């Protein structure tokens, strides 16, 4: 069964850092682009970042450029999102998703909640 499980969310103060992880199983992780998507409370989905299957290409939404870093470890079948200089507006449920090609995100994990507050 193809499965994605996020972890690492929690409460962090403004300006702080957090590292999210996404454990993948049930498919050849190293062959797929991977994506992070977030949903702020009461808001819609927002595409955050993606990373090529070999990790050599990465892209970010403008609002997180320079603060967030997406990475992956194929040996551990894991995707990461390092989040620095966190702001209140980064508060959201963060989902990881497999990109099956041209933005077809399938499946998604259940999400992990990040709360940025003092």
Partner 1 sequence: QSALTQPPSASGSPGQSVTISCTGTSSDVGGYNYVSWYQHHPGEAPKVLIYEVSKRPSGVPDRFSGSKSGNTASLTVSGLQAEDEADYYCNSYAGGRNFVFGTGTKVTVL
User: Which residues in this chain contact partner 1 in the complex, by CB under 8 A?
Assistant: 35, 37, 44-47, 50, 57, 59, 61-62, 95, 97, 100-111
- Nearest approach, Cβ of residue 42 and partner 1 (Å): 11
**Distance (Å, whole) CA 38 – CA 112:** 9
Cβ proximity to partner 1: between 59 and 84 the closer is: 59
- Nearest approach, Cβ of residue 32 and partner 1 (Å): 14
Provide the CA 58 distance to its chain's centre, in angstroms: 12
Cβ proximity to partner 1: between 37 and 81 the closer is: 37
Instruction: Match 């449920």 to its residue by tokens.
Output: 93
User: CB-based burial of residue 102 (10 Å sphere; 0-12 exposed, 13-18 middle, 19+ buried)?
Assistant: exposed
Cβ proximity to partner 1: between 75 and 102 the closer is: 102
- Nearest approach, Cβ of residue 118 and partner 1 (Å): 27
Q: And the tokens for 60?
A: 């970010």
Q: And the tokens for 67?
A: 């603060």
- Nearest approach, Cβ of residue 98 and partner 1 (Å): 10
**Distance (Å, whole) CA 86 – CA 14:** 5
Cβ proximity to partner 1: between 16 and 26 the closer is: 26
């Amino acid at each position: 069964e193809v499965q994605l499980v996020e972890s690492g969310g929690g409460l962090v103060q403004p300006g702080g850092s957090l590292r999210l992880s996404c454990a993948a199983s049930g498919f050849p992780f190293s062959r797929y682009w991977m994506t992070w998507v977030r949903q702020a409370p009461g808001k819609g989905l927002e595409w955050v970042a993606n990373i090529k299957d070999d990790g050599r290409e990465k892209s970010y939404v403008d609002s997180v450029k320079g603060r967030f870093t997406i990475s992956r470890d194929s040996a551990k079948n894991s995707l990461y999102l390092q989040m620095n200089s966190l702001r209140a507006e980064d508060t959201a449920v963060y989902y990881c998703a497999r990109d099956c090609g041209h933005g077809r995100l399938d499946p998604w994990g259940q999400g992990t909640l990040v709360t940025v507050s003092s």
